[in-house]
Amino acid sequence: MKRASVGRNGTLYGLKSLVLWTLLIKAALLGWAYLAYFLFPFNTPNYWANFVYPAGEAPHFWTPLKTWDGQIYLYLSDHGYHPHQFTNAFYPLFPFLVRVAGLLLGGRPLLGGLLLSQACAVLAMVYLYRLCLEYFDKRTAFFTCLFLLAFPTGFYLGMLYTESLFLLLAIAYFFYWDQKRYGLSAFCAFWLPLTRPTGILVLFPALMAWREEGKNQGRPTGRRWLPTAAIILGAGAYFLAMKAMTGDAFCAFEAEKSFIFHFDVQNLTHPLQWFARTFLSVDSTPPGLFLKLLNRFFFLLYLGVLVLWARALNRVFFVYCLALGLVPALSGNLGSYMRYLLVLFPLFMALALRFRGKEVPYLLTSFGLQAYFAMQQALDYFVT
């Protein structure tokens, strides 16, 4: 993509307007979660059938904001990692930051974690907006962010999940790379493999970025290697940390088998079996056939957007979406896939370009779905 003029769209599509909309959307989602909790029946059997922390704690006022993975991150923030626990499947940076935020708020990890996620979501939108301005005008940048916030699973960006932190680090990494501020880019890159297992996959677009820049600037300098090296160092730091805490650097792979939608990198070597298992013999057992079909639909939608609108993205962003969209799909069974799409921020650039002038129908539909899923999450029903 060629650098585009920022344009003059006044304050309507400015950064301050975006931040205000982001805060309003986040506040509305939190309010809706509480409203749903008091208006509709909470799924108490599902609650007790899953991991509860603190152990034995009955549902209460704060429960809608810490269902599912949120309870696990709170547990890890308090107790850390230990050998042979299923919680070892979750990566350590987010629970560590939740612990720090909780201590700063006087020992309130839930409040600290929620504020952390909200802050990361706002900062991610700021960086995404500024990154978009390197290529598009203000209107496109504004609606790229709004389309991402409106995505049906966008409410996870303010919950006790890693999406907002990972999104912030990934966007900031690319932003600082474009600015040729390689030290800051490397700092963001280092933490990606410590946040989510897909963090190491950013190595592929990093190598592509290094290659593309090398075409224009000739032989690479030492500083341009920093972000790529930082991703590898971050992955090494993760394995060393898990070895120190659990005695097994690869404990996450074993812990992953405890989950219904567990991932296995060996699935990548059997694509035909994966296709047959995923699309030709869909299991109708809980957590629900509808959600399984919905995840498959969004995977096909992802492929369609990536193929049909690839020209709207540069090669680096295309490789980012290819790696972080395909590998989680092909290594598992598309469980939670709608949530994983949240971090593929370049796809929302393509959507903003494709739906220019037709943003309202997209936003209304997407926010409607998000309101439904946010309600399900708050009531402890399975969402993705």
Report pLDDT digits (tens) over 256-272. 887 766 666 777 777 77
Residue 379 has pLDDT above 70, yes or no: yes
Query: What pLDDT shows up at residue 3?
Result: 43
For the segment 278-288, what is each residue's pLDDT rounded down to a tens digit? Answer: 777 766 665 66
Name the pLDDT band for 311 (thresholds 50, 70, 90): confident
pLDDT in the model for residue 220: 54
Q: Is the confidence at residue 224, as pLDDT, over 70? A: yes
- List the chain domain ranges: 15-273+286-378
Task: Please state, in angstroms and rounded to a whole number, the distance separating the CA atoms of residues 281 and 335.
Answer: 15
pLDDT of residue 7: 45
pLDDT at 4 exceeding the cut of 60: no
pLDDT, residue 9, reads 52
* pLDDT band, very low/low/confident/very high, at 1 (cuts 50, 70, 90): very low
> Quick one: which of 22, 355, 313 has its CA closest to 167?
22
- Outline where the chain has alpha helix (H): 15-39, 44-49, 69-79, 93-104, 109-132, 138-150, 163-178, 182-191, 203-217, 226-246, 251-255, 271-275, 289-308, 315-330, 337-340, 345-354, 359-378
Q: Per mean pLDDT, which range of 128-137, 216-225, 320-329, 350-359 is the poorest? A: 216-225
C-alpha 30/C-alpha 27 separation (Å) is 5
Nearest alpha-carbon partner for 231 in 293, 307, 174? 174
Question: How far apart, in whole angstroms, are the C-alpha atoms of residue 363 and residue 352?
Answer: 11
Q: Which of 81-90, 221-230, 272-281 ranks highest by mean pLDDT?
A: 81-90
State the pLDDT at residue 289. Answer: 73
- The secondary structure of residue 237, as a DSSP letter, is H
C-alpha dist (Å) from residue 242 to 135, 195, 247: 40, 13, 7
Looking at residue 14, its pLDDT comes to 93
CA 89 vs. chain centroid, Å, equals 16
Residue 351 has what DSSP assignment?
Answer: H
Query: How much of the chain, in percent, has pLDDT values that exceed 70?
Result: 91
pLDDT at 213: 74
Q: Give burial (CB, 10 Å; 0-12/13-18/19+) of 11.
A: exposed
Name the residue among 337, 344, 346 with its Cα closest to residue 314: 346
Write down the pLDDT at residue 260: 67
| DSSP H helical ranges for 218-270 | 226-246, 251-255
Confidence of residue 222 (pLDDT cuts 50, 70, 90): low
pLDDT at 143: 97
Residues 239-243: what's their mean pLDDT? 97
Average pLDDT over residues 234-260: 92
> Phi-psi bin for 56: left (phi > 0), alpha (psi -120 to 50), beta?
left
Average pLDDT value for residue range 156-185? 96
Which pLDDT score, from 0 to 100, does residue 277 have?
73
Using pLDDT thresholds of 50, 70 and 90, give the confidence band for residue 211: confident
Q: Which whole number is the average pLDDT over 161-174?
A: 97
Check residue 292 and give its pLDDT.
82
- Listed range (35-49, 102-116, 142-156, 248-262) with the worst mean pLDDT: 248-262
Verdict on whether the full-model pTM lies above 0.75? yes
For 85-139, the pLDDT digits (tens) are 999 999 999 999 999 999 999 999 999 999 999 999 999 999 999 999 999 999 9
Is it the case that residue 61 has pLDDT exceeding 50?
yes
* Mean model confidence pLDDT for the chain: 89
